[in-house]
Structure 1
Amino acid sequence: MQDASPISSVEQLYENHHGWLQGWLNRRLGQSADAEDLAHDTFIRVLRAPQQVRELRQPMAFLAAIANGLLINRWRRQEIERAYLEALAARPEGVESSPEARYLVIETLLQLDSLLIGLPARIRQVFFMSQLDGLTYPQIAAQLGLTVAQVQRAMGKAFSVCYASRFE
């Protein structure tokens, strides 16, 4: 049951709801170590913006929203890592990447993904097919049933988002 009295400090929020949050995450993840990590990360986020905690009337909803965002980010990261590792496995033998290079590529892919997340899925797909798979615009158009002009427009939108991010 949710407490109706306002929360006045991060410490009080932690004391009252850390156990609940960890259990909530554990039910979603099925792994207590990951649940502990995400509960910790949730409270790190709370500590970065303690003013949001003052007079908080729905602390469990507040914590669940933060933790859910972190959970989605974790799943997206795992999906990107999985796809990258599959691409590496498909490379010819003898072509190896260092752990540092793999880490940098994954971080770059995550940054690109977060930049492009606001775009429609088709535009993101076109962008990644061009930039990661190395396909030409006519090849992308043929695979997706688009015209080359549609592929060009999609790439223009994706590139404009990337370009604009350099000046934020």
Structure 2
Amino acid sequence: MATHSSVAHANLTVRQTLLHQLFGDHHGWLFERLRARLGCPSDAADMASETFVQVVALDDPHSIREPRALLTTIAKRLMYASWRRRDLERAYLDALANEPEQFAPSAEQQVMAVEALIEIDRLLDGLSSRARAAFLYSQLDGMTYADIARELGVSAPRVHQYVVQGLRACFEART
């Protein structure tokens, strides 16, 4: 009779074999697609590696029926997230460039600010573009609901609803 630990070990061995085969069969293909898309071999290698890290983290890799479709989906999400992070960082640095030098944050503060912006972007990802804009205008720019309503072409009560949605998204992520 097999013990629980021997069954678990056998399942782990099957999982490792499956993941090893998946990597061997598809890593080169994924890397080449990413290299063509990104134009940089080192970025493509990093993105391919991160894609497989996410595959390894899946609860049941045995359920993968279309590995290339899954790898493509994961890689696209990672690529878009990377571009969004880069755009946020660029926008922040552009805004800093317009500030007087004596008010410029240290390099460490800049990194912390970019990380905070990326986290806020992640938290607000599920909101509509208007809800996200209303929340950011309110929280970052200190605009009144009336000003935000004029900017977005909606009513002030609707702005309130949008801001509540943003606050809820941030609060739910903390709990």
In structure 2, what is the equivalent of residue 104 of structure 1?
112
Q: TM-score with structure 2 length normalisation?
A: 0.82
Larger helix share, 1 or 2: 2
> 1:81-114, CA deviations, whole angstroms, 9 ceiling, x for partnerless residues?
1111121112122211122211221221122111
Contact between 1:116 and 1:158, CA under 8 Å: does it hold in 2?
yes
In structure 2, what is the equivalent of residue 118 of structure 1?
126
Question: 1:76 and 2:87 equivalent?
Answer: no
Higher RCO by CA contacts (8 Å cutoff, separation 6 or greater)? 1
Please provide the CA RMSD for this pair.
1.9
Task: Describe the SS at the equivalent of 2:85.
Answer: helix
- Count of equivalent residues: 160
Question: 1:61 and 2:69 equivalent?
Answer: yes
Contact between 1:126 and 1:154, CA under 8 Å: does it hold in 2?
yes
In structure 1, what is the equivalent of residue 4 of structure 2?
none
The one of 134, 152, 164 equivalent to 2:160 is 152
TM-aligned CA distance change 1:50 to 1:144, over 3 Å = closer
Query: What CA distance in whole angstroms lies between the structure 1 residues aligned with 2:137 and 2:158?
Result: 14
Stretch moving more, 54-63 or 94-103: 54-63
Unaligned runs of 5+ in 2: 1-16
Query: What CA distance in whole angstroms lies between the structure 1 residues aligned with 2:57 and 2:154?
Result: 45
Cα deviation, residue 148, structure 1: 2.3
Identity of aligned residues (%): 40
Contact between 2:130 and 2:152, CA under 8 Å: does it hold in 1?
no
